[in-house]
Structure 1
């Protein structure tokens, strides 16, 4: 049976971790490093400590594939109406409150303005950098800073449930990378004139990683829970062998056999192992990443 050090050198793939509330994404990476005995571990997109759910973790040279993964996200957000906080979630200080009651019909109507491409103002309590300093650092020091709105895409926003007595709603949101769900909750409260903030946030999907297939950190088993990258990437795949495989080892471009210019290609050997990622040029497939 191979020792952990030998196994660590061979690890290459993704683990679909269910991040618990209270941990940072970096905490999860540190834990996986300890489990695997390998330093080359990274995640595909930060989840706030307050949030939980899908956090894809890349192991070994699979960290070099992060840029090629689909970056759309899906969240189940629980929103509390009647108060706004400075952090836009339940951990912040209340800065506005109202006795106004929201109706389900009003809520459904208000959600419509978030559909499609929207301009969104990020929370002041966020890790976005302005002039080399994170926004939350400005917030904590009390210094004013100009925050620029960002364009994001809300592919779908759907009311899943509404408790009229508690004034709480569960909202399913499918969105582009960089969307702040806390900002949606806060803006929703502003639009309805009653204030609102997040009290729970679950990431249910990140690209092809889904919550129903995720594994709790304490239950992770390597290599059992390691996912082959080829199963999580929707690009054209080309089987290579012989001379082409040797070309890849030497970092040489391959001939382009009628593949559309600019297309990303997964070069595969032994049926399901990625040996390289390439991009189709006019006459050749140029190698972007090589894993041999």
Structure 2
């Protein structure tokens, strides 16, 4: 007896941002696919990958919000991590093979030494990207070379560590807790290895959790399991509006006539100060229209929503 084919759930337009608390062991793309299915959404994407070994904040963009995902990709990030001291691995994390083992001295974890070390790694620093990363060389990801046991030369990259704290783990004398706020492109795995080298014992990343990106916080996130447990009409209520991706940008409000012309791609003139990027809203009803640059009193469209996307964003997705 053949099994009945499963009914296909019809997709619908969904617009907004879902803050997911991604679990360890799940790829970012798999998490996005599951969330997309739970909301029966037509279009979804994320704002920058999060390794399967890492947990924490993964903003998922739906519909119109996908147009502004790049802003979060470029934003500062915040992480909490645990380092295993005295052990270096081939990958810089717990999945790799052990390369070296060294003793960990309690003197290494003295508060004044950790404060000095945190200060040393705060500010603009150079990092050599790890071989086990998605960074590409000659069209191929570095981790593909690493899997083939091929070491390729990587140029150092400059990143910025805005804030860094290092604290011993009370019940584990060979572990160190790290919290960091950093610029895009920072490899926390490399930071862990460099801190271990500076301590003289080596280290690798035991766990990693992203707590913030841009103006978005893990405090507002929901797990996939919790989302799945909700009735379909309740899941939609966990979406933030698309403009959540534009937090921190200056705003410009346009009347009905100017809003229509702006959405046609026309520049508008007004008393706006110069700005590299602003969020542009229509006044009545208040709705996000897109982003623009302000140059010499001119509002120059950068990324626009379509009238359909705007209308759908103003309507509830469930009757």
Whether 2:106 is the aligned partner of 1:103: answer no
Residues 152 and 177, structure 1, Cα contact 8 Å, conserved in 2:
yes
Residue 33 of structure 1, aligned match among 21, 30, 36: 36
2:53, 2:19 → 1: CA distance? 19
Q: What residue is the counterpart of 2:95 in the other structure?
A: 91
Residues 115 and 156, structure 1, Cα contact 8 Å, conserved in 2:
yes
1:33, 1:181 → 2: CA distance? 29
2:114, 2:251 → 1: CA distance? 45
Residues 104 and 162, structure 1, Cα contact 8 Å, conserved in 2:
no
SS in 1 for 2:291: strand
Residue 62 of structure 1, aligned match among 55, 61, 65: 65
Structure 2's unaligned 5+ residue stretches are 1-8, 228-233, 308-319
Task: Give me the CA root mean square deviation.
Answer: 1.9
Q: Give the deviation of 1:246 after TM superposition.
A: 1.8
Q: What residue is the counterpart of 2:25 in the other structure?
A: 22
Whether 2:294 is the aligned partner of 1:263: answer no
Q: Give the deviation of 1:195 after TM superposition.
A: 1.1
Residues 160 and 171, structure 1, Cα contact 8 Å, conserved in 2:
yes
Whether 2:294 is the aligned partner of 1:287: answer no
Residues 14 and 227, structure 1, Cα contact 8 Å, conserved in 2:
yes
Residues 114 and 167, structure 2, Cα contact 8 Å, conserved in 1:
no
- The Cα offsets for residues 73-100 of structure 1, whole Å up to 9 and x where unpaired, read as 1111111101011111111111011123
Structure 1's unaligned 5+ residue stretches are none
Q: Which has the higher mean CA deviation after the structures are superposed, 190-199 or 245-254?
A: 245-254
Residues 239 and 271, structure 1, Cα contact 8 Å, conserved in 2:
no
- Where do residues 180-219 of structure 1 align in structure 2 (5 Å cutoff)? 180-219=187-226
Q: Which has the higher mean CA deviation after the structures are superposed, 129-138 or 234-243?
A: 234-243
Q: Give the deviation of 1:117 after TM superposition.
A: 0.2
1:68, 1:84 → 2: CA distance? 35
1:65, 1:206 → 2: CA distance? 14
2:194, 2:71 → 1: CA distance? 32
- Where do residues 242-257 of structure 1 align in structure 2 (5 Å cutoff)? 242-255=256-269, 257=270
Q: What residue is the counterpart of 1:150 in the other structure?
A: 157
Q: Give the deviation of 1:281 after TM superposition.
A: 2.3
2:42, 2:99 → 1: CA distance? 42
2:36, 2:104 → 1: CA distance? 49
Residues 163 and 169, structure 1, Cα contact 8 Å, conserved in 2:
no
2:58, 2:244 → 1: CA distance? 17
2:237, 2:15 → 1: CA distance? 12
Whether 2:48 is the aligned partner of 1:45: answer yes
Which aligned segments of 4 or more residues in structure 1 are displaced greater than 4 angstroms?
A: none
Q: Give the deviation of 1:268 after TM superposition.
A: 1.1
Residue 227 of structure 1, aligned match among 217, 240, 244: 240
